[in-house]
């Protein structure tokens, strides 16, 4: 009888942890995105924009988007000196969120090259990939369809991939993007312990 009640308790109150790696070049808006997620899913006030500094190392957050799942996010710094440590998280990541500054045309080739390095890594095979075109509030932001073509997202094998426009600063598009990610994780071939 105890094991039946224990099993029922676990079923009702244990949440599945979904590990998500947030990467992208420095100044793409990864930490601002994380702050918006804290606001949306934890009810915390996001840090003011002027208090957000480039991540050195790792920011970790546990968000509760629904009753059954915990979205554990790892926001890893995007400076050139830190990109080499991203792969430390590849084996455990269930999904990847790659954030780009869609208004930074100067670094778009670097962002595309870095994106392809990440998604080509065999340790991430099968992981859903969400490519977020951030800073869509800027006049010179590149259309997400143009980014998708330039990044060749339809040519990337082994991943369920989605490109979404967002403005992390005010949260526009973030909920829809995270909803896609959660749905993609439900059908992901990555090992998720439920």
Which letter does DSSP use for residue 153 in this model? G
Annotated binding residue at 160?
no
Annotated binding residue at 51?
no
Annotated binding residue at 137?
yes
Annotated binding residue at 27?
yes
Annotated binding residue at 175?
no
Annotated binding residue at 135?
yes
For the beta carbon of residue 49, count every other beta carbon within 10 angstroms.
12
Is residue 103 a contact partner of residue 138, using CB atoms and an 8 Å limit? Answer: yes
Which letter does DSSP use for residue 193 in this model? -
Q: How do beta strands 58-63 and 69-76 pair?
A: antiparallel
Question: The tokens of 161 are what?
Answer: 């991939």
Annotated binding residue at 55?
yes
**Distance, CA of 9 to chain centre:** 30
Annotated binding residue at 78?
yes
Annotated binding residue at 7?
no
**Distance, CA of 14 to chain centre:** 23
Annotated binding residue at 41?
no
Annotated binding residue at 89?
no
Annotated binding residue at 59?
no
What region does 42 belong to: left with phi over 0, alpha with psi -120 to 50, or beta?
alpha
In the annotated binding site for Mg(2+), the residues are 31, 55
Residue list, annotated binding site: 24-31, 55, 78, 134-137
Positions at the binding site for GTP: 24-31, 78, 134-137
């Amino acid at each position: 009888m105890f094991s039946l009640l224990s099993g029922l308790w676990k079923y009702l109150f244990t949440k599945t942890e979904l590990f998500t790696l947030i990467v992208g070049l420095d100044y793409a808006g990864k930490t601002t995105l994380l702050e918006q997620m804290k606001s949306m899913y934890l009810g915390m006030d996001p840090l003011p924009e002027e208090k957000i500094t480039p991540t050195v190392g790792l920011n970790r957050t546990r968000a509760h988007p629904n009753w059954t799942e915990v979205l554990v996010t790892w926001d890893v710094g995007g400076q050139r000196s830190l990109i080499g440590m991203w792969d430390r998280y590849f084996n455990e990541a269930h999904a990847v969120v790659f954030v780009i500054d869609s208004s930074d045309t100067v670094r778009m080739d670097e962002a595309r090259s870095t994106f392809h390095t990440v998604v080509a890594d065999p340790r991430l095979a099968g992981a859903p990939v969400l490519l977020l075109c951030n800073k869509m509030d800027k006049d010179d932001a590149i259309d997400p369809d143009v980014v998708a073509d330039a990044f060749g997202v339809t040519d990337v094998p082994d991943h369920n991939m989605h490109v979404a426009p967002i403005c992390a600063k005010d949260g526009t598009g973030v909920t829809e993007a995270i909803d896609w990610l959660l749905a993609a994780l439900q059908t992901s071939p990555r090992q998720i312990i439920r």
